[in-house]
């Protein structure tokens, strides 16, 4: 996750040089993890750079803020403009974007009553989270000994900074085992999600994924894949996922902003399916990348072009 091409950061209303984008060591969120964030991508298309599902990401940011009763000191429109400004100022057209809302310096009591809410936006070039080669060869996964926290412990549908310590522990364990990624089970022993991705399995031509009852973050890429799969005529079942179902699946894959659509080739050394990526995963990859790159006009509403005049672009449907 190199920052080589990142020159400016948007900080609470203004762009500052990357090297000067600092916070005070007494910032509440630094000590207690009391921040919320969103991760987005901007893709180069034939009609210019476009941010994928910006509206959905901003809506989820506000939902996370509501859960933690954090008052974001900007409107969605202001942050939309700020994101575009940050991308443009860094001269980027294909990049990863991180919005962070955090409590600054004021006090270090557990409740940040006296701490101002600060907002930062970063943009930089980024490949696929698990590795670009994993898109073709698939990811090696292990079942983590760490359990995904239940929604009565923390709000699993909120994207909050401190909650990712759970993911950090699981991923560190996976890397120590020589794997690419971890899968966390929920409190009931069913599959929850990866350290930063949702999970789909394919069995007998039917896709299956879980929902918030399994302590997952309701992924925006997950939602996009469900829509694309439906448009392709596939049945998508939503319900609990057992480890046995995963191991008996014909195909399995991760979805996420950073991971995009990444196939899984093995779980704790056991190979999945006959090929990687499997045929349905490969088709979903193809149509997902067509959607994010502006090559399928059915999904043009998912793209927010930096140049608004490109919003009415015309491309034929992929078949």
- Pairwise CA distance, residues 319 & 317, whole Å: 6
**For position 317, what pLDDT does the model report?**
34
CB 96 within 8 A of CB 191: no
Tokens of 244: 């046995």
Q: What is the pLDDT of residues 195-240, one digit of tens each?
A: 999 999 999 999 999 999 999 999 999 999 999 999 999 999 999 9
CA distances from 63 to 36, 60, 67, 224 (A): 10, 5, 6, 19
Among residues 172, 137, 135, which one has the least CA distance to residue 285?
Answer: 135
**For position 311, what pLDDT does the model report?**
58
**For position 133, what pLDDT does the model report?**
84
CB 95 within 8 A of CB 89: no
Known active-site residue 300: no
Note down pLDDT in tens along the chain; length 319 residues.
Answer: 568 779 999 999 999 999 999 999 999 999 999 999 999 999 999 999 999 999 999 999 999 999 999 999 999 999 999 999 999 999 999 999 999 999 999 999 999 999 999 999 999 998 777 777 888 899 999 999 999 999 999 999 999 999 999 999 999 999 999 999 999 999 999 999 999 999 999 999 999 999 999 999 999 999 999 999 999 999 999 999 999 999 999 999 999 999 999 999 999 999 999 899 999 999 999 999 999 999 999 999 999 999 876 655 444 333 2
Tokens of 312: 């009415």
- Pairwise CA distance, residues 22 & 33, whole Å: 17
**Which residues touch 274 (CB under 8 Å, ≥6 apart)?**
250
Half-sphere exposure for 67 (CA within 13 Å, toward CB): 19
Among residues 9, 21, 40, which one has the least CA distance to residue 159?
Answer: 40
**For position 315, what pLDDT does the model report?**
41
Q: Which of 14, 76, 159, 270 is catalytic?
A: 159
Tell if the pTM clears 0.75, that is, is over it: yes
Burial tier of 33 (Cβ tally within 10 Å: 0-12, 13-18, 19+): middle
Sign of the alpha-carbon dihedral angle for 130, 256, 239, 137: negative
**For position 128, what pLDDT does the model report?**
75
- Pairwise CA distance, residues 6 & 15, whole Å: 12
Domains and CATH numbers, the chain: 8-124 (3.30.470.10), 134-292 (3.20.10.10)
CB 275 within 8 A of CB 216: no
* Token pair 């319900």: residue: 239
**For position 81, what pLDDT does the model report?**
97
């Amino acid at each position: 996750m190199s920052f080589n091409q990142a020159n400016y950061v948007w900080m609470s209303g203004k762009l500052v040089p990357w090297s000067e984008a600092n916070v005070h060591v007494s910032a509440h969120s630094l000590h207690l993890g009391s921040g919320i964030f969103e991760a987005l991508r901007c893709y180069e298309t034939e009609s210019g750079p476009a941010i994928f599902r910006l509206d959905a990401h901003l809506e989820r940011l506000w939902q996370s803020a509501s859960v933690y009763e954090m008052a974001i000191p900007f409107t969605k429109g202001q942050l939309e403009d700020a994101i575009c400004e940050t991308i443009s100022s860094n001269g980027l057209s294909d990049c990863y974007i991180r919005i962070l809302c955090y409590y600054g310096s004021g006090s270090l009591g557990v409740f940040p009553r006296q701490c101002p809410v600060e907002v930062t936006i970063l943009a930089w070039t980024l490949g696929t989270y698990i590795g670009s080669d994993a898109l073709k060869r698939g990811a090696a996964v292990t079942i983590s000994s760490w359990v995904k926290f239940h929604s009565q412990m923390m709000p699993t549908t909120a994207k909050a900074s401190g909650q990712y310590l759970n993911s950090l522990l699981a991923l560190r364990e996976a890397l120590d085992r020589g794997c690419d990624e971890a899968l966390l089970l929920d409190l009931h022993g069913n599959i929850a999600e990866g350290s930063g991705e949702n999970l789909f399995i394919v069995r007998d031509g039917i896709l299956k994924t879980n929902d918030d009852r399994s302590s997952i973050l309701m992924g925006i890429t997950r939602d996009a894949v469900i829509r694309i799969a439906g448009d392709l005529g596939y049945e998508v079942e939503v319900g609990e996922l057992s480890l046995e179902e995963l191991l008996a699946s014909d195909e399995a894959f991760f979805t996420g902003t950073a991971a995009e659509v990444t196939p899984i080739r093995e779980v704790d050394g056991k190979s999945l399916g006959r090929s990687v990526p499997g045929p349905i995963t490969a088709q979903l990859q193809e149509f997902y990348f067509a959607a994010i790159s502006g090559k399928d006009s059915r999904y043009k509403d998912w793209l927010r072009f930096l140049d608004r005049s490109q919003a009415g672009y015309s491309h034929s449907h992929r078949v």
